[in-house]
Amino acid sequence: MSTAESPEVTDVFVVGAGPVGLVAGCELARRGVRVRVIDKLAQPTEQSRAIAVHARSLDMFDRMGIVDEMLSTGIKATAMQLYAGHSKLFRVPLGGVDSAFPFTLTTAQTETERVLVEHLRSLGVTVERGVELAALSQDAQGAHLTLRHDDGSTERASASWVIGADGGHSMVRRLVGTKLAGSFVGERFLLGDVDAEHQLDLDSMHTFFSPDGPVVVLPMRDGRMRFLAEVHDAPGTPLNMHPSQEELQAVIDERIGGIRLLRSHWLTSFEIHHARVPAYRWGRVFLAGDAAHIHSPAGGQGMNTGMQDAFNLAWKLAAAIRGEAGDTLLDSYEAERIPVADGVITFTDRLTKAGTLSGVPRRIRDMLIRVVSHVPAARRAMADTAEEVNVSYKNGPLTIGRRLRNAKVTAGEHFPHVVDAAIQKQLSAVCGVQNTGHVVLTVAAGQVAPAAGGHGPTQVLVTASETEPATPVAGYDTVIADPDGLVAQRFGLKNGGRIVIRPDGYIGAVASLDDTTTVAGYFAKVRG
Ligand SMILES: Cc1cc2nc3c(=O)[nH]c(=O)nc-3n(C[C@H](O)[C@H](O)[C@H](O)COP(=O)(O)OP(=O)(O)OC[C@H]3O[C@@H](n4cnc5c(N)ncnc54)[C@H](O)[C@@H]3O)c2cc1C
């Protein structure tokens, strides 16, 4: 069979068109980067797989300009409920999480991928299917890939950068010479998307603790329910890839009761380990999503964490390709995202361990949970963790400056949601889909405040102006009128201040109005 040499050097080659590779492809294409996205499968998978899309991922989709399409594919879960067996321990409402979308959207992974594929196509990039990465090397000139096409032909292509988003069995990971390290004990799960008779609230996600293993139940569209139950087979038992409805029913009867399965749409089993690679960057190659970390699906965080890896990486890579950023920014990808993966691994591990206690420890757990359930801060922390809105890069290498006195915004945290709808709409317009770069937001709080941070970022001024729309001010691209001082109040900037908002919605820097170095220092780091 023939071997073709691709004459054109692509900026970025994305290996894998799962949710992670697709987010990377969309975000790179949105920034004008020449990108190819390949997948070895001739057709996308039809398996519903990860169905929970959490608040922080919805914020991400909002910035990408596809949140309405995503929301139209699924239903909203606005609370989490915990049970010991069938007795209710704790209800955690999600309405208070700091997001424009304070809920979990449940939708099939096939729908998430469909929306992303269509968005990618609208940005001029078509997923190349039936194309498998077979070999990869790199040198000073670039990364060199050998691709095997479905028709048996081979292609040799080059790219400046490669993103390995090729899932848990990643070939890219193998070809850069690394592997997952962690716990390979192997947790087994029985999964069923079913129609069922039950008394469960349809607006909640339910977790049933049981000494035999937790069962997670999520509502899906069209009245379906997702059941995910940890199972413990005898050592050496082969994985049962085709469990029956009766097997799932038996697990539910044993651990929950009161639920009758009527019809199964998808039944399967899978085994998962808890592990990650030691580094996400290997020269010109970055690993993201399941290629970089794998963990229990108990918290429904695998796909969300992976997509946010891609969202974190894409703007940095685009900036480096434009010559506006150096290694500090590129290396900040793993410095910021590895702790997030470690946090997810620890969280899901603890959730599973807490869920499987029996005897006295179980009674102590249930008592503690009942006590904690009356502490608002504890409920809040649980909701924030589940929705991934407490992800922070505060300890990352890009963080700069000291925390401002009384400020409710901190470098490294996500930019807060402003409850006033009119102001939030204006902020979303300047920070969202139309803007692929940084924003320097100056909250004047009644003072005269010239713009800072040079001509690169979008300059936004929030004034106490009484007029709507606010009068334009020299040096600013947008002026937002805030006569009631709601923004200053929300951000704790009574005396004014500046916030650098990164392209992924996280805060790059916070500075007082008379601080002449912090904002400049942040952009110097980005360029470094
Ligand atoms: C049965 C099942 C149920 C799951 N349920 C849940 C759940 O309830 N909650 C949850 O959070 N997560 C769940 N997951 C995990 C979730 O699906 C993954 O976390 C998510 O898909 C990761 O996305 P990804 O893009 O990193 O990888 P993937 O979705 O695996 O995509 C990788 C892509 O790369 C392609 N590829 C692989 N090798 C090559 C190559 N050499 N060349 C070209 N292309 C290649 C593959 O064909 C694939 O399309 C489940 C997974 C499975 C399998």
Question: How far apart, in Å, are the Cα atoms of 6 and each of 3, 43, 141, 144, 159?
Answer: 10, 24, 15, 11, 10
Nearest protein Cα to ligand 1, atom 20? 303
Pocket flag, ligand 1, residue 175 (CB < 6 Å): no
| Bridge partner list, 227 | 192, 217
Q: What is the pLDDT of residue 296?
A: 79
75 CA → ligand 1 middle, Å:
22
Domain architecture of the chain: domains with CATH = 3-74+102-181+276-352 (3.50.50.60), 421-527 (3.40.30.20)
**Burial annotation 50-70 (CB, 10 A radius, 16+ → b, else e):** bbbbbbbbbbbbbbbbbbebb
Query: What are the DSSP E strand ranges found in 17-142?
Result: 35-39, 52-53, 75-77, 79-84, 87-93, 104-106, 128-129, 131-138
Pocket flag, ligand 1, residue 299 (CB < 6 Å): no
Pocket flag, ligand 1, residue 164 (CB < 6 Å): no
Q: What is the pLDDT of residue 89?
A: 84
Question: Hey, which of 39, 127, 155, 191 would you mutate to test ligand 1's pocket, going by the most ligand atoms within 8 Å of its Cβ?
Answer: 39
- What are the backbone angles phi and psi of residue 490, rounded to the nearest 5°? -60, -40
Pocket flag, ligand 1, residue 306 (CB < 6 Å): yes
Question: Hey, which of 36, 49, 294 would you mutate to test ligand 1's pocket, going by the most ligand atoms within 8 Å of its Cβ?
Answer: 49
Q: What is the pLDDT of residues 202-257, one digit of tens each?
A: 999 999 988 888 899 999 999 999 999 989 888 788 888 899 999 999 999 999 99
Pocket flag, ligand 1, residue 270 (CB < 6 Å): yes
Nearest protein Cα to ligand 1, atom 21? 303
Q: What is the pLDDT of residue 413?
A: 95
Task: Report which ligand 1 atom has the smallest distance to the Cα of 45.
Answer: 49
Nearest protein Cα to ligand 1, atom 44? 39
Residues 6+ apart with CB under 8 A from 158: 6, 9, 10, 141, 142, 143, 144, 145
163 CA → ligand 1 middle, Å:
15
Pocket flag, ligand 1, residue 136 (CB < 6 Å): no
Residues of the chain under the 70 pLDDT cut:
1, 355-356, 467-468
50 CA → ligand 1 middle, Å:
9
Pocket flag, ligand 1, residue 11 (CB < 6 Å): no
Q: What is the pLDDT of residues 403-443, one digit of tens each?
A: 888 899 999 999 999 888 889 888 988 888 888 999 999 99
Nearest protein Cα to ligand 1, atom 53? 49
Contact 33, 318 (CB under 8 A): yes
290 CA → ligand 1 middle, Å:
7
45 CA → ligand 1 middle, Å:
9
Q: What is the pTM of this model?
A: 0.95
372 CA → ligand 1 middle, Å:
35
Contact 498, 452 (CB under 8 A): yes
Q: What is the pLDDT of residue 408?
A: 93
326 CA → ligand 1 middle, Å:
31
Task: Report which ligand 1 atom has the smallest distance to the Cα of 226.
Answer: 8
| Bridge partner list, 499 | 441, 510
Q: What is the pLDDT of residue 1?
A: 60
Q: What is the pLDDT of residue 468?
A: 67
| Bridge partner list, 35 | 12
Pocket flag, ligand 1, residue 16 (CB < 6 Å): yes
Instruction: Evaluate the CA torsion angle 500, 63, 288, 141 in order and state its sign.
Output: negative
Q: Is 281 exposed, middle or buried (0-12, 13-18, 19+ CB in 10 A)?
A: middle
